[in-house]
Amino acid sequence: MKLIAVAGARPNFIKIASLASELGSHSKSVHWKLVHTGQHYDEKMSDLFFRQLEIPEPDINLEVGSASHAVQTAEIMKRFENVVLEHKPDVVLVVGDVNSTIACGLVAVKLGVKLAHVEAGLRSFDRSMPEEVNRVLTDSISDLLFCTEQSGVDNLLREGIPQEKIFLVGNVMIDTLLKNKVKADDSNILNQFNLNGNDFAVITLHRPSNVDDVIVFKRILDSLEIIQNDMPVIFPVHPRTRRNLYSMSLGNMIDAMTGLRLLDPLGYLDFLRLMSSAKIVLTDSGGIQEETTILEIPCLTLRENTERPITVEVGSNRVVGTKTEKIIEAYTQVRDEGLRESQIPPLWDGRAAERIVRILLDKV
Report CA Rg, the chain. Answer: 20
- List the catalytic residue out of 36, 87, 206, 238: 206
144-147, strands of its sheet edge to edge: 60-61, 31-36, 2-7, 91-95, 114-118, 144-147, 166-168
155 neighbors 180 (Cβ within 8 angstroms): no
Nearest Cα residue to 238 out of 361, 66, 57, 32: 66
Task: Tell me how far apart the alpha carbons of residues 84 and 256 are, in angstroms, rounded to a whole number.
Answer: 52
Sign of CA dihedral 3, 133, 57, 272: negative
> Would residue 26 show up in a list of annotated catalytic residues for this protein?
no
DSSP letter for 218, please: H
The DSSP annotation for 11-68 comes to HHHHHHHHHHHHHHTTTTT-EEEEEE--SS-SIIIIIHHHHHTTPPPPSEE----S--
Pairing of strands 299-301, 317-319: parallel
Task: Tell me how far apart the alpha carbons of residues 296 and 233 are, in angstroms, rounded to a whole number.
Answer: 19
Strand, helix or coil for residue 8:
coil
Nearest Cα residue to 282 out of 345, 330, 348: 330
The neighbouring-strand residues paired with 260 are: 233
Nearest Cα residue to 96 out of 36, 195, 16: 16
Nearest Cα residue to 17 out of 194, 272, 258: 272
- Which residues have a catalytic role annotated? 206
